[in-house]
Structure 1
Amino acid sequence: MMSQAQNDLITRIAPGTPAGEMMRRYWQPAALVDELSPERPVVAVRLLGQDFVLFRDGSGRYGLMDRDCPHRGADLAYGRIEADGLRCAFHGWLFDATGQCIQTPAEPVGSTLCQRIRQKAYPVQERNGILFAYLGEGEPPAFPELDCFVAPQTHVFAFKGLIECNWLQALEVGIDPAHASFLHRFFEDEDPADAYGKQFRSASSGTDLPMTKILREYDRPIINVERTEYGLRIIALREIDEQRTHVRVTNQVFPHGFMIPMSHDMTITQWHVPIDDENCYWYAFFTSYGAPVDKEKMREQRLELFELPLYKSRRNKTNEYGFDPHEQESSTYTGMGLDINVHDQWAVESMGAIQDRTREHLGQSDKAIVQYRRLLREQIEKVAAGEEPLMWLDSRSAKAIQGPATMDGIGPSRGWETFWMEVDVGRRRAAPWGAPVPADVEAGTAHLRLVTH
Structure 2
Amino acid sequence: MMSQEQNDLITRIGPAAPAGLLMRRYWQPAALVAELKDERPIVPVRLLGQDFVLFRDEAGRYGMLDRDCPHRGADLAFGRLEQGGLRCSFHGWLFDAEGNCLETPAEPAGSKLCQNIRQKSYPVVEKNGILFAWLGEGEPSAFPELDCFQAPDAYTFAFKGLIECNWLQALEVGIDPAHASFLHRFFEDEEITEAYGKQFRGASAGTAIPMTRILREYDRPVINVERTEYGLRIIALRELDAERTHVRVTNQVFPHAFVIPMSTEMTITQWHVPVDDETCYWYAIFTSYGKPVDKEKMTAQRLELYELPGYVSRKNKSNDYGFDPHEQKHSTYTGMGADINVHDQWAVESMGRIQDRTREHLGQSDKAIIQYRKILREQIDKVRNGGEPMMVLDAKAARAIQGPGTMDGIGPSKGWETYWMEVDVARRRSAPWMPAVPPAQPGDEKIVDLVAAAE
With normalisation by structure 1, the TM-score equals 0.99
The residue correspondences of 1:216-235 to structure 2 (distance < 5 A) are 216-235=216-235
The residue correspondences of 1:29-428 to structure 2 (distance < 5 A) are 29-428=29-428
Shift of 1:82: 1.5
Is the contact between residue 429 and residue 454 of structure 2 (CA under 8 Å) also seen in structure 1?
A: no
Is the contact between residue 59 and residue 83 of structure 1 (CA under 8 Å) also seen in structure 2?
A: no
How many angstroms apart in 2 are the aligned matches of 1:450 and 1:178? 35
Q: Deviations over 1:413-448 (max 9, x none)?
A: 000001000000000011111101001178533334
How many angstroms apart in 2 are the aligned matches of 1:439 and 1:20? 31
Consecutive unaligned residues of structure 1, counting only runs of 5 or more, are: none
Q: Residue 348 of structure 1 aligns to which amino acid in structure 2?
A: V
3-state DSSP class of the match of 1:388?
Answer: coil
Shift of 1:111: 1.2
Q: Residue 428 of structure 1 aligns to which amino acid in structure 2?
A: R
Q: Residue 235 of structure 2 aligns to which amino acid in structure 1?
A: I
How many angstroms apart in 1 are the aligned matches of 2:453 and 2:379? 42
Counterpart residue number, 1:18: 18
Is the contact between residue 203 and residue 209 of structure 2 (CA under 8 Å) also seen in structure 1?
A: yes
Consecutive unaligned residues of structure 2, counting only runs of 5 or more, are: none
3-state DSSP class of the match of 2:99?
Answer: coil
Is the contact between residue 3 and residue 358 of structure 1 (CA under 8 Å) also seen in structure 2?
A: yes
Q: Deviations over 1:350-376 (max 9, x none)?
A: 000000000000000001000000000
Moved over 4 A (4+): 448-453
Q: Deviations over 1:325-380 (max 9, x none)?
A: 01000111000000000000000000000000000000000010000000000000
How many angstroms apart in 2 are the aligned matches of 1:405 and 1:394? 22
Q: Residue 28 of structure 1 aligns to which amino acid in structure 2?
A: Q
Q: Deviations over 1:372-414 (max 9, x none)?
A: 0000000000011111111000011000000000000000000
Q: Residue 414 of structure 1 aligns to which amino acid in structure 2?
A: K
Distance 1:451 1:77, change over 3 A: closer
3-state DSSP class of the match of 1:271?
Answer: strand
How many angstroms apart in 1 are the aligned matches of 2:64 and 2:188? 47
Distance 1:98 1:188, change over 3 A: same
Shift of 1:110: 1.3
Shift of 1:450: 6.4
How many angstroms apart in 2 are the aligned matches of 1:21 and 1:422? 40
How many angstroms apart in 1 are the aligned matches of 2:401 and 2:380? 21
How many angstroms apart in 2 are the aligned matches of 1:83 and 1:439? 48
How many angstroms apart in 2 are the aligned matches of 1:389 and 1:444? 29
Shift of 1:209: 0.4
How many angstroms apart in 1 are the aligned matches of 2:115 and 2:213? 65
Correspondence for 1:444 among 436, 440, 446? 446
Percent identical pairs in the alignment equals 77
3-state DSSP class of the match of 1:102?
Answer: strand
Q: Over the residues paired in the alignment, what is the CA RMSD in angstroms?
A: 1.1
Q: Deviations over 1:165-211 (max 9, x none)?
A: 00000000000000000000000000111100001000000211000
How many angstroms apart in 2 are the aligned matches of 1:346 and 1:445? 39
